[in-house]
Amino acid sequence: MTLTTRYLGFDLTSPFIASASPLTGKIDSLKALEDAGTAAVVLPSVFEEQLRQEREAIDAFTALQADTLTEAQSFFPDPALYERESHRTLDLVRAARESLDIPVIASLNGISPDGWVLFAKELVDAGAQAIELNLYHIGSDPAVSGDEIEARHEETVRAVRQAIDVPLAVKLSPWFSSFANVAHRITHAGADALVLFNRFYLPDIDPETLTLERTLQLSRSQDLLLPMSWIAMLRPHHQNHLALTGGLHQPLDAVKGLMAGADALMSTAALLKNGPGHLVHLREGLIQWMNAKGYSSLDELRGCMSRDRVRNPDLFERTNYMKLLDSWPGL
């Protein structure tokens, strides 16, 4: 039995990857994840907003000193002494590369093709072996069309691609009017892999205090259906790598994701709830299931339930919707 797979140009020991979370933000937990069998790690994201704020602060500090006498400038503190989020991230990348034997993937979260994308090159220079670009955007402005948002995403991917010479994965949300078209455009803009999907963490309302509250709701196995279905639909037409994230909690979740056609399986919620050792449960459970069913490798399993290989492919689309509505018990 072998679980080896290929993702972003890496030959991985298994399809299981620890995606960005607090667990991947510390060297001790990164080592624990490696010991438990994760095939690669995605470090926590650096956000476009953070990089913008840092740049604006430095510009303001520089402008403040510009109109002072040379002698007076010596009284100002050296801006290099202040620890910035970008510095902490670069230090984490360096430490992770020194401490781990598995691929280290750095993560950027942004929506615009601005100067911040140059930080991708700094991540690579620090040792990141690949970049995962997380395109997280809520189109709340009625003056901005879907076409504009999609074009901005495409331009952002192209800008990051031009800034780096390592593999690039792009993590997307499913909320586009034609996701298959967006996946095609993002791939042609330079993405070597697509990661499906982002999860929107929306605020809740407290009726008593009339305030908004931040909520963190971890995924469940039911959340697997959306990325699994889209991977199954994209697999016949998409030659680049596809990674599934969201809803991976049990070995059978891994089986379903691989059957749909996923090259990699990313986990966050299950590892946060159960610890790095949960990877052992996922891997051994997958091996046990494959042995019981007579599979000897992932290549035999992967994509066997993609849209072009099932007997009823229309169940991925509108026919499924109509039949479900008619199947409610008692009607």
- Each residue's pLDDT tens digit, 54-73: 765 544 445 455 555 555 55
Q: Which domain holds residue 203?
A: 5-326
Give the closest residue to 110 by CA, choosing from 56, 171, 181.
171
The model's confidence at residue 152, banded by pLDDT at 50, 70 and 90, is very high
Is 184 inside a domain boundary? yes
Side-chain-facing half-sphere of 48: CA atoms under 13 Å: 16
The total domain count for the chain is: 1
Is 34 inside a domain boundary? yes
Q: Give the span between the Cα atoms of 278 and 169, in whole angstroms.
A: 25
Q: Are 14 and 3 in contact (CB under 8 A)?
A: yes
Give the closest residue to 282 by CA, choosing from 300, 261, 296, 268.
268
Is 82 inside a domain boundary? yes
Is 331 inside a domain boundary? no
Is 53 inside a domain boundary? yes
Q: Are 27 and 96 in contact (CB under 8 A)?
A: yes
User: What letters, b where the CB count within 10 A reaches 16 and e where it falls short, cover 133-168?
Assistant: bbbbbeeeeeeeeeeebbebbbebbbbbbebbebbb
The predicted structure's pLDDT at residue 176: 92
140-159 mean pLDDT: 93
Kindly report, residue by residue over 259-316, the tens digit of the pLDDT. Answer: 999 999 999 999 999 999 999 999 999 999 999 999 999 999 999 999 998 888 877 7
What percent of the chain lies above the pLDDT cut of 70? 87
Q: Are 263 and 16 in contact (CB under 8 A)?
A: no
Q: What pTM was computed for the model?
A: 0.88
Q: What is the mean pLDDT of the chain?
A: 88
Is 219 inside a domain boundary? yes
CA 298 to chain centre: 22
Phi, psi of 242 (to 5 degrees): -125, 130
Give the closest residue to 43 by CA, choosing from 98, 90, 110, 101.
90
Is 275 inside a domain boundary? yes
Residue 314 structure tokens: 């229309």
Is 40 inside a domain boundary? yes
Give the closest residue to 40 by CA, choosing from 120, 108, 96, 124.
96
Kindly report, residue by residue over 98-122, the tens digit of the pLDDT. Answer: 999 999 999 999 888 887 898 999 9
CATH code (residue 272): 3.20.20.70
